[in-house]
Structure formats: C-alpha cells, structure tokens
Amino acid sequence: MEALLKISAHDNGAVKLYRKLARSKKDRTREGLFVLEGLRLVSDAVQNGAVLTHLFWTEEGYARWNEESLPADLGETRCALLSDALGTALSQTEHSQGVYAICRMPEQPALSDLIRPGGNYAVLHQLQDPGNAGMILRTADALGLDGVIYSASCDIFSPKVVRATMGSLFRVPICCTADIIPVLETCRVAGVETCAAVVSGTAQLVGQCVFKKGTAVVIGNEGNGLPESVSAACDRRVTIPMHGTIESLNAAMAAGIILWEVQKAGTDMGKEVR
C-alpha cells in the first residue's frame, strides 16, 4: 500500500475526470470512457478483460480488494488510494465499498457481425429507464443470448445502467444504434425472425406460439410501447396474456418472459409448445 499514490485533493486531474464521466454522456462519448463503482462491478470488469485506465480505492476498499485475492498487478492501470472524504464525495451509492474505476468502452461489433443466423437477441427500442436497460442485459446474460441491441435508448454507459447490469455489460455483446430499421433489415438478411412485443391488437400469445432458433425480440418504450411503424415492420407480433385489470408488465419483466420462451426453442422443453 505504501507504493500507491495517495489522493486527497478534490481538484486532482484523475478525480475531476471521474466526476465528469459520471455526470456527462457527452464527456463519456468524447473520451470513450465510463465509470464503475463497487467491488463486484470493478472485479467483474478486471476478470472479463475490460481495460481500466484508473483504479481508486479507499483504505477500506483496498483491504476488501486484497481479501478477495483480486489482481494486484493491473498493468498500465493507474492505481491510487483516496482519502475517505474523497471516496465519499465520489460515491453515487448509499453504501459505498470504496472501489472506483475508469473503464474504456468496449469496441462494439457491426450489426452484420453481431446478428448471425440462428442467434437469439433482445432489441430495445426507445427504452429510457436505466433499471430496465440494465436488467434486460442481465437477463440476456443469464439466458445465454447472443447479443443485445439498444436502439435510440438510454445511455448504457451511464452509472445507473452500468450498476443495474451487475457485470453483465462485460459478458454480453452489445450494439447501440440511433435507427432501428437497419437492425430489422440485418435480422432479415441473417434469417433471424423479428418478434414485436405488444400489449394490444392482433398478436400471438406467448406460450401458444413456437419460436424458431434465430429470433430477435423487440421491446419498446416503457410508457408507449413500440411505434406502430416498428411493430408493423417486424415479422410477427407477440403478447403476454394478462389477467384481471392489468394492462401491461414492466418492460424488463415482459422481456424476461418472452426471452425465456425464445431460449426454449430447439430444446426438449419447447418441442410441445404450440
């Protein structure tokens, strides 16, 4: 610990950079960097080969890092100890663990490289809630999806979304695009069926339809769903049957249900679904 640089000044250059990246999408985009907070998130980044430019600990955070036997040699990463006061000032969580990092954004694949025949995907269009955006990425990780595409959605590198992914950001291929039409066109070329998740209108009931191996589930905005032009451009529409007076589910919950059904395609569980 004695060899580590110690920082207590709030105007330190690396600390100022961390703060800018934490609050500004413009700065994140320009620098190609984003921030991480918490032992689990930072350790997931390290273990999955993410590039950290800076890593900061409070003394308590450094002790936790060593207790977990996490790497002490981080190559070119600039490491430093923060004063407790500075650590508290940087934290955006209620119970800080005293571990912070600046991470380089992963290189995103081209749509034609990501969307391949037989692959299963989640396509999120105009999704704005950070919790939903992060939770769906976690679901994709858990179900073994081949990728998640964010179309005109919230910034996946914002601190709230990054925390909500709980490390899945480093394990699931992602692609961000401003326009959904090229996504649908790329799916069609690859033979990947696009399924618009809707809450009303003519649609097949989830649980009564057969999904093919090679499906992209398209989820819309939390309040407004998918624009009619987008759902009409998809190969088919699917909906989750509701009971009582409930009209719709949370976007992340709906995505989880439909994606679970999609992942059953080609397995013994899914063979009898009609």
Does the pTM surpass 0.85? The reply is yes
In tens, the pLDDT along 149-186 reads 999 999 999 999 999 999 999 999 999 999 999 999 99
In tens, the pLDDT along 226-235 reads 999 999 999 9
Q: How far apart are CA 201 and CA 93, in angstroms?
A: 42
Q: How far apart are CA 181 and CA 179, in angstroms?
A: 6
Q: Yes or no: say if 139 and 167 are a contact pair by the CB < 8 Å rule.
A: no
Reduce the DSSP state of residue 209 to 3 states and report it.
coil
Q: How far apart are CA 240 and CA 199, in angstroms?
A: 7
Contacts (Cβ under 8 Å, ≥6 apart) of 61: 39, 87, 97, 98, 99, 100
Q: Yes or no: say if 33 and 105 are a contact pair by the CB < 8 Å rule.
A: yes
pLDDT (0 to 100) of residue 218: 97
Q: What is the DSSP string of 84-124?
A: HHHHHHH--SSS--SEEEEEEPPPPPPHHHHS-TT--EEEE
pLDDT (0 to 100) of residue 31: 97
Q: β-strand 33-37 against 215-219: which pairing, if any?
A: unpaired
- Residue 271 pLDDT > 60, yes or no? no
The DSSP call for residue 221 is: B
Reduce the DSSP state of residue 268 to 3 states and report it.
helix
Percent of the chain exceeding pLDDT 90 equals 76
Domains, in order of start, for the chain? 5-104 (3.30.1330.30), 111-270 (3.40.1280.10)
- Residue 246 pLDDT > 90, yes or no? no
Q: Yes or no: say if 221 and 128 are a contact pair by the CB < 8 Å rule.
A: yes
Q: What are phi and psi of 236, to 5 degrees?
A: -160, 170
Q: Yes or no: say if 194 and 234 are a contact pair by the CB < 8 Å rule.
A: yes
pLDDT (0 to 100) of residue 270: 43
CA atoms 234, 236, 241, 247: torsion sign: positive
